[in-house]
Amino acid sequence: MSARRKRKTPARGWPVAAAGVFLAVFCFWYAMFKLVEAMDAREGTMLLATGYCNCGECCGWTRGEDGVAVYSYGEMKGRPKEIGRTSGGTIAKHGTIAADPAVFPHGTVIRVPGYGEGVVEDVGGAIKGNHIDLWFPSHGAAKRWGARRVKCIVREPMPNAAKAR
């Protein structure tokens, strides 16, 4: 007579059930997050995208008699200018976008074909309406980008996002 051995199975019970509940809640949360993100996006927004860098020609500054960088025109003319610092207080880097704050407030995320995703952190005197300025590390790179009309994906900032920065 052959004796059948009972095969041991892993313990099931509350740890497995808890993991299942956690996974279900996480999947639901993630799906809702993506749905809200998709609802906030304005796809296919046509924008004029130009390039800029930290140079005086792009950012309107010059060196004063003492060698300090100063604004060369506008209401800030003659005042010291911190090169590479945005109006939002951050250091300009790839992904920094200058825009009209009446159209795209600080914190707005914009995906630009050929450039990538960026965040509005700066303003410019000549940037009005559906015009954005993309930061580049050199003047040559900004000139190569030139001025293009591109179809972008725009995501509005969450309320109080600018205050949290």
Instruction: Confirm whether 83 is domain-assigned.
Output: no
Read off the CATH number of the domain in which 132 is found.
2.40.40.10
Instruction: Confirm whether 24 is domain-assigned.
Output: no
Instruction: Confirm whether 154 is domain-assigned.
Output: yes
Q: Look at residue 113 in the predicted model and tell me its pLDDT.
A: 94
Instruction: Confirm whether 64 is domain-assigned.
Output: no
The model carries a pTM of 0.66
Please give the chain's pLDDT, 165 residues, in tens: 556 666 665 556 666 667 777 777 777 766 666 555 544 456 778 999 999 988 878 777 788 778 888 777 777 788 787 788 888 888 999 999 999 999 999 999 999 999 999 999 988 778 899 999 999 999 999 999 999 999 999 988 755 444 434
Q: Look at residue 33 in the predicted model and tell me its pLDDT.
A: 61
C-alpha pair distances (Å), 59 with each of 34, 121, 158 = 37, 14, 28
Domain of residue 146: give its range: 41-54+91-164
Contact criterion met (CB below 8 Å) for 142 and 40: no
Instruction: Confirm whether 160 is domain-assigned.
Output: yes
Instruction: Confirm whether 134 is domain-assigned.
Output: yes
Instruction: Confirm whether 28 is domain-assigned.
Output: no
Burial string for 13-40 (b: 16+ CB within 10 Å, else e) reads eeeeeeeeeeeeeeeeeeeeeeeeeeee
Instruction: Confirm whether 102 is domain-assigned.
Output: yes
DSSP strand pairing (41-52 vs 109-112): unpaired
Location of structure tokens 């994906």: 153
Structural domain count, the chain: 1
Please tell me the number of Cα atoms within 13 Å of 155 on its side-chain side. 17
Q: Look at residue 36 in the predicted model and tell me its pLDDT.
A: 52
Q: Look at residue 165 in the predicted model and tell me its pLDDT.
A: 40
Contact criterion met (CB below 8 Å) for 112 and 148: no
Q: Look at residue 1 in the predicted model and tell me its pLDDT.
A: 52
